[in-house]
Structure 1
Amino acid sequence: MLFSHQFFFTPLPTPAIVALFSFGALVLLWLLTQPKPVRPPVDLQRQSVGTKDGARRSALLKSNSLMAYYYDDARTLYEVFQRGLHVSGNGPCLGYRKPKQPYQWLTYKQVSNKAEFLGSALLHRGLKPAANQFIGIFAQNRPEWIISELACYTYSMVAIPLYDTLGPEALVFIIKKAEISTVICDKPDKAEILLSNSEKGLTPVLNTIILMDSFDSELKERGAKCSVELMIFGRACCAVPHLTFALLLCPLGDPKGAMLTHENVVADAAGFIKSLESTFSPVPDDVTISYLPLAHMFERVVQTVLYSSGARVGFFQGDVRLLTDDMKALKPTVFPVVPRILNRVYDKIQSGAQTPFQKRILNFAARMKHAEVKKGIIRNSSIWDKLIFQKVQLTMGGRVRVMVTGAAPISPPVLSFLRAALGCQIFEAYGQTECTAGCTFTMAGDWTAGHVGVPISCNIVKLVDVEEMNYFASNGEGEVLYVLL
C-alpha cells in the first residue's frame, strides 16, 4: 500500500500568514544583527578583594595601592582643565543656548582666559591666592559657574557653593562660618537675598557681590547702603596663575561642612574612568548635559571626567521642564541622572502602551532586549529599538552611550527595563558629597540590579554587621563603617 505524501491543513487567512512570516523575519533579523557583547574586566564572582580588618577594594586594582589620578599630567583640577585644552586642540568646552536656538560654545582657551581674567580681578581687589581665601558661588548651572570655579583653582583660592534650597539661615551660616567676603551669583534676585541678610546685619563680612546677569542702579545703590559693592561679571586686569595646591569646600547644610582637596576630586574621577575603561573611554567628541546641581559633587566629578579628556559640557536652559528640548538640541553621549528622572522615563514608556496588544508587544520587545543585556549586548540599533524604543531614545538626543544614576536607590525592575529600552550602558553609583561623590560603582558587564557595585579604585570600604536587620558583612551586606580615600 502506497501512502500519499500530501499534507492536509486548514488554510490560514492571508493577513495571518503575512503577520507570521513578518514576525519570523523580525526574529531572524534580530539574531543575525547582534553585536559582540561587553565582557566584564574581572570575574563577576570576585569583583572586590579583601584588604585588612574586613575592608575591601576593587578587583580592578592589581595591588592595595589606591589610585590618586588617572592621567600623569592632570593631578589638580587646574591641570585637568589644561589637559582638556591640550587633548581637544582647543576644542569646544562649555555650551549654552537660548530658547529654541542651537547651542553656542566657548572653547577651552576662551574659558581658561575668562577664568584668569576673573581670578586676577579678585586678586586686584585684595583677595589672596591662599587656601584660606573663600569665594562663594551662588548660581544655577551655567558656563559662568565653571569659569568662577576655575578662577579659584587658577589662583589657589577656595570655591564654596551656596544654594538657596537650604534656606536663608544656612546661607547666613555658611557666609559667616567661612568668612566669605565675595560672592559670585547669577541673577539679581539672588543678590537681593544676600543684600537682605546684609541689611539685617547678619553677614557683616560680605562686602562684594559679582553678578553674572545685568542689574539696575537701584540694586547697586541698595548695596552701597549696607557697604556691599555690586560688580558685573567680566574682564579685568590679568596676573600670572599661581599653581600652588588649592582646596575645595562643599557646604552640607547648617552646621556641617566638608573640606575636599583637589586630590580627592581627581582621585574620584580617576576611579570612575578606571571603572569604565574596559567599555567606555571618554574622548573630545563626547558631550554631557549639566542640569544636576553643581553644589553637589556628583555633577562636579562627572564634569571633571569630561574635562580631563577634552570633551564638552552643555548646560540646560535652567528649567528642568525644558530638559528634553535641551537634550534633543545637545545630543549628549554621557548622561548623569537620578532615579526621579529615570522613573519618569519609565512611566512615560509604560503609559505609551495603551491597549492590551500594545502592552504585549512592549513587554515582548523589552524581554528580547533584556535577554541581550544579560549577555552583555548593549545597543540601540536592533529591530526592537527601531520599532518600539527609538522614540524615547530620541527624546534624549539619540546618542547616549553611558548613563550613571546616583543620589538615591533605583528600583531594580525599573533599572532592568531601562537598560533594555534605552540601549545604552546604565551604571549605578553610591556615595556622598562629603566623600567626593562616588564610593562604589557597578562593574561593566554586570547587568544585574539591586546593588550599587564595588568600591571604586580610589578607595576602600568596610562594612559592619547590623544584626537586628540580618545584615552581615560576611554576606556582603551591612552598614558602611568607613570609606578611605
Structure 2
Amino acid sequence: MSAPNVDMQAVELPGSRRPGQTGVYRRKGYEDALLVVPPTRPHIKTIYDAFEHGLRLSPNKPALGRRVFDPVTKTYGGYVWETYTEVSDRITRFGSGLIKIHQDAFGLAQVAQKFSVGIWAINRPEWTITSGSCSAYNLVSVGLYDTLGPEAVTYGINHSESSIVVCSADHVATLLNESHKMPGLKVVISMDSFDNEKPQLGSVNTGAILRTYAHDKGVLLYDWAEVEALGIKYGHKHTPATPDDVYTICYTSGTTGLPKGAILTHRNMNAVLASADVTTPMTTDDVLISFLPLPHVFGRVMEIFAFSAGGKIGYSTGDPLRLLEDIGQLKPSVFPAVPRLLNRVYAKVYAATIEAPGLTGVLARRGLATKLANLEAGKGITHPLWDRLLFSKIKQAIGGNVRLMLTASAPISAEILSFIRVAFCCEVVEAYGQTEGKSESFVPEPSATATQEIEICSGAATNTNTSERIAGHVGPPNACNEIKLVDVPELNYFATDKPHPRGEICVRGPGVISGYLKDEEKTRETIDDEGWLHSGDIGIIGDNGVITVIDRKKNVFKLSQGEYIAAENIEGKIMARLPFIQQILVHGDSTESCLVAIIVPEPDTFVPFVNKVLSGVNLALENVADYKRICSDPKLRQLVLHEINKAAKDIGLRGFEVPKAILLEPEAFTVENNKMTPTFKIKRHPVVQEYRERLNALYAEIHSKESKL
C-alpha cells in the first residue's frame, strides 16, 4: 500500500451520520473493511500464529535477552540471549508441565479444556514464555501488576479463578501468606530456582522452608526447572487457541474502585497487530526494550509486534534508575515509552544542550531551530550538518540506534514530541486508546496530551503516522477500528459544533473487547447494543480526520459560579509550557469559585529555575534537604504561580481555569507511594483526600487576600 496521505488521514463513511452524532470515520485507505489479520501475513490469526511466524523467520536468531546479575561484583553484565528455537522449546516444555500439574492438582484423568494462569513478576523472559505457553495450549493468561500489592493481586486471582500462579521468587511467600483468602489457588510456580544451598529470598526464606510452608497451606509449590522437567516427561502437542478464544484477562489499573477484568480474545490482539503491520511495521533486525509493565496491554502488544517479526526483545533489569544503563547496553531500535519518561529525558537533554552556556548552547539552539523548521516544512527529521555536529551525540543517551518511539498512557506535549523527533533523529508515533480498546487516552491541545484509562482493550484506537510532522493530536482511527463522536449536552459538546465537531469518542471494531469478566452491568454501561464502546473521552475531529482529545467526562467538575472545569486539559496545557513541572493536579471545590493546584517540580529543570529567580540562592540537585525546604518557600510559590499565569495567558486559558494558589510538593507522585496507578495516572481522589488540609489552607489564603482588597 502506498504511503498514507498526511493531509487527509481519515474519511467519513457516506450516509453514516445520525442525529446527535457525527458520521463514522475510518482510516484513509481502509474505508471498505477494517483489518483483522496482517495484510502482508494473512495466515496470522492468533497470537500463537504470530510467534510461530517469528520462529520461522528467525529460528536461530536471538529472541529474548536479559542482563545477568553478578552477586560477587553486585553489578549487571551485558545481555544474554535465547534463540527463537530455544524459546519455542521452553514454551512447549513449560506448557506441558502446566498441563500435568493442573491434572495432578485437580485429580483429572484428562487434560482440562481451559484454565487461567496468573503471572506476577516484573518483565522478564519467563513472563513471556508463560504467556506463550498459554497461547500454545489454549489457556488464559492473567497479568498481575508487580506493584499493586497483595490485596489487588488476591482480588485478581480470585476474580479470574486462576488456579495456578507463576511468579518471581520474591512473591512466593506473599502468595502463601495470603492463600487462605484464595480458595481456588492450588499451585504456585516460582520463576526462580529453589536451590537449598543458596537462599534465593534473603535471610531464612530458603526453598526447603517455603516448600514446608506451602504444604501446610495446602498449596503445591514448584520452581521453574521442575515444571520444565515435568514437561519433558509428560509432553503434549500444542493445542493452540482459535481467534475467538480468550487470550488474556487484562485488569484495568483504575484510580478508584476495584479493577475491571477486560476480556481480550486472540482476534482482538491480532487486529491490533494487523494495524501495526501497516503503520509501524517491525523487522527481524529490530530490537525492542521491554520495560513497560506486561499486565498492561501497551507493553504486551509491543512484544507481540516484535516477536511476530522475528525481532529481539531485551528486558530491563526492572530498576527505573538503571533503565538508561539497560538501554545503553541493549541499544534498542524500537523504544515504547510513557510520556513521564520522555519528559525526564527531554528535561535532562534540554538542560545539557539548549540551555548550556557559551558556544555549546549557541550551536544547540541554532541546530534545534533549523531541524524544527525542517520538520514543520516536511523535510524530515535528519540534517547532514547538525546531526554530525550535535545530534548524533545526543542520540547516544538512548543507545544510539532508536529509529522508532511509540508513546501512550499519560500527558505529553507537542513541543516535547517535536524536540524528541529532531534531537534523537527518530520517528515518534503517538497512540490513543484504553485497556479495553487498548487505549491510553490523551488530551492534546496545540501542545499537550492528558490521559485517563478507558475501555477499548487490545490496541490503540488511533495512532499518528510515522510521517506525521504536526504534533498535538493522536492521529486517525487505527486500521482495525472506526470512530464517531456523540453529543454530550450536559458539557455543551455537540457533533454540530463549529469549526469542528465535538463529542464523546466512541470506538468499534475487532480490536474492541467484548466485555468485562463477570460484570454484565459494566459491560452494558460501556458497550452499546451496536458494539460501540463509549470511551468517556471528549474529542474533536479535524478537517483531515485526525482526533484531538480535549476532555475526560469523569474529570470535568463545576465551580460555585457554574463554570465547568476540564482538569486534565488544563494540566496538560500548563505542563506543556513549563518544563520545570513534572506533575500537576488541578483541583476545585464546588463551593469555591477558583482553582488551586498541587505541583511536583522536575528537579533537573526546577533547580536552575530556582537559582535564577531567587537571589542569593545556589541550590544543588544533590542537596535533598535544601530542595525540600525551598519548595515550602512562600516567595518561590508566588514566582511559580507568576510563571503559570504567564503561560495561561499565552495558551488562552480563561481566568477561572487558572489556579489562584499552589503548593509545591518535592516528592513525586509514584506507584510506590500509592499516588499513581501502575500505568502512571494520578489517583486524583486519594491524592486530594491526602492533601485536603493543605488545599483548604490554599483556599483560606486566597480568601484572606480577597478580604484585604
TM range (shorter): 0.7 to 0.9
Contact between 1:466 and 1:472, CA under 8 Å: does it hold in 2? yes
Aligned equivalents of 1:481, 1:161: Cα separation in 2: 26
**Following the alignment from structure 1 to structure 2, what is the Cα–Cα distance between the partners of residues 193 and 392?**
43
2:124 is the counterpart of 1:142:
yes
Deviations 1:262-292 (A, max 9, x none): 111111011122123xxxx421111110000
**Larger displacement relative to structure 2 (44-53 or 152-161):** 44-53
- The equivalences for 1:45-194 within 5 A come to 45-51=7-13, 52-53=16-17, 54-61=23-30, 63-70=31-38, 71-98=41-68, 99-127=75-103, 132-187=114-169, 189-194=170-175
Paired residue secondary structure (2:508): strand
Cα gap change, 1:135/1:100 in structure 2, threshold over 3 Å: closer, same or farther?
A: closer
Asked if residue 243 in structure 1 is aligned to residue 240 in structure 2, the reply is yes
CA distance in 2, matches of 1:359, 1:264: 48
Write the letter of the residue equivalent to 2:486: V
| Aligned 8 A contact 2:486 2:503 in 1 | yes
Identity, % of aligned positions = 37
- Measure the CA separation in 2 of the matches of 1:470 and 1:384: 48
Deviation at 1:391, TM superposition (A): 2.8
Change in Cα spacing, 1:326 to 1:47, as seen in structure 2 (3 Å) is same
Deviations 1:376-429 (A, max 9, x none): 444556322232223331121111111111012311111111111110101100
Q: Runs of 5+ in structure 2 lacking a partner?
A: 18-22, 69-74, 104-109, 195-205, 438-457, 511-709
Distance in 2 between residues matched to 1:344 and 1:265, nearest whole Å: 31
The number of residue pairs the alignment matches comes to 439
C-alpha distance 214-381 of structure 1, shift in aligned 2 (>3 A) = farther
Q: Deviations over 1:234-278 (max 9, x none)?
A: 2223211102424121122524111100111111011122123xx
Report the alpha carbon displacement of residue 445 of structure 1 after superposing the two structures with TM. 2.1
Tell me if the contact between 1:338 and 1:405 (Cα under 8 Å) persists in the aligned partners: yes
Confirm whether residue 287 of structure 1 aligns to residue 309 of structure 2: no
The answer as to 2:186 corresponding to 1:210 is no
Q: Distance in 2 between matches of 1:410 and 1:44?
A: 21
Instruction: Determine the structure 1 residue equivalent to 2:329.
Output: 329
Q: Is the 8 A contact 2:59 2:83 kept in 1?
A: no
CA distance in 2 between partners of 1:427 and 1:463 (Å): 23
Q: Relative to structure 1, is the Cα distance of residues 264 and 206 closer, same or farther in structure 2, using a 3 angstrom cutoff?
A: same
Paired residues of 1:58 and 1:457 also in contact (CA < 8 A) = yes
| 3-state SS, counterpart of residue 463 of structure 1 | strand
- For 1:329, what is the secondary structure of its paired residue? helix
Q: Which residue of the partner structure matches residue 483 of structure 1?
A: 508
Alignment equivalent of 1:262, drawn from 266, 278, 293? 266
8 Å Cα contact 2:46-2:241 kept in structure 1: no
Q: Residues 354-433 of structure 1 correspond to what in structure 2 (within 5 A)?
A: 354-355=356-357, 358-379=360-381, 382-433=384-435
Residue type of the partner of 1:213? D
**Which letter maps to 1:412?**
A
Q: Which moves more between the two structures, 110-119 or 267-276?
A: 267-276
Secondary structure, in 3 states, of the residue corresponding to 1:350? helix
In the alignment, what sits opposite 1:339?
339
Secondary structure of 2:332's counterpart equals coil
Distance 1:129 1:346, change over 3 A: farther
> How far is 1:130 from its partner?
6.1
Report which structure shows greater RCO (CA 8 Å, sep ≥6): 1
The aligned counterpart of 1:445 is: 467
Q: Partner letter of residue 140 of structure 1?
A: I
**Mean alpha-carbon deviation: is it higher for 283-292 or for 443-452?**
443-452
CA distance in 2, matches of 1:105, 1:476: 51
1:454 aligns with 2:476: yes
TM-score scaled to structure 1, two decimals? 0.86
Distance in 1 (alpha carbons) for counterparts of 2:154 and 2:101? 23
Cα shift at 1:211: 0.4
Q: Which moved more, 1:123-132 or 1:74-83?
A: 123-132
Amino acid at match of 2:285: D
Look up the SS of the partner of 1:102 in the other structure. strand
Q: Deviations over 1:54-107 (max 9, x none)?
A: 22110031x331100101221111111010011124321101112442211111
Paired amino acid for 2:192: D
**Equivalent residues of 1:184, 1:211 under 8 A apart:** yes
Q: Does 1:219 align with 2:210?
A: yes
TM-superposed CA distance for 1:484, in Å, is: 2.9
Q: Do the aligned partners of 1:380 and 1:422 also contact (CA within 8 Å) in 2? A: no
- Relative to structure 1, the CA distance from residue 81 to residue 40 in structure 2 (aligned partners, 3 Å threshold; closer, same or farther) is closer
Q: In 2, are the aligned partners of 1:131 and 1:158 still within 8 Å (CA)?
A: no
Letter in 2 for 1:93: A
RMSD: 2.1
1:74–1:214 CA distance, 2 compared to 1 (3 A): same
The change in CA–CA distance for 1:381 and 1:218 in structure 2 (over 3 A counts) is farther
Residue in structure 2 matched with residue 319 of structure 1 by the alignment: 319
CA distance 1:346–1:287, change in 2 (3 Å): same
8 A contact 2:332–2:401 mirrored in 1: yes
Mapped contact 2:428–2:466 kept (Cα < 8 A): no
Q: Structure 1 CA distance, aligned partners of 2:7 and 2:380?
A: 21
- Asked whether the equivalents of residues 79 and 329 of structure 2 are also in contact (C-alpha less than 8 Å), the reply is yes
- SS of corresponding position for 1:457: coil
Q: Check conservation: 1:185, 1:211, Cα contact below 8 A.
A: yes
Residues 478/388 of structure 1: CA separation in 2 closer, same or farther (3 Å cut): farther
Which residue number in structure 2 is paired with residue 463 of structure 1? Answer: 485
Asked whether the 8 Å contact 2:461–2:507 carries over to 1, the reply is: no
Distance 1:131 1:455 in 2: 37
Match of 1:31 in 2: none
User: How big is each residue's C-alpha offset from its partner over 1:331-369, in whole Å with a ceiling of 9 and x where there is no partner?
Assistant: 111110111111111101121133265444322211111
Q: Which moved more, 1:84-93 or 1:464-473?
A: 464-473
2:177 to 196, 216, 224: 196
* In 2: Cα distance, 1:476 partner to 1:397 partner: 42
What is the CA–CA distance in structure 2 between the aligned matches of 1:395 and 1:462, rounded to whole Å?
40
With 40-49 and 252-261 compared, the bigger mean Cα shift is at 40-49
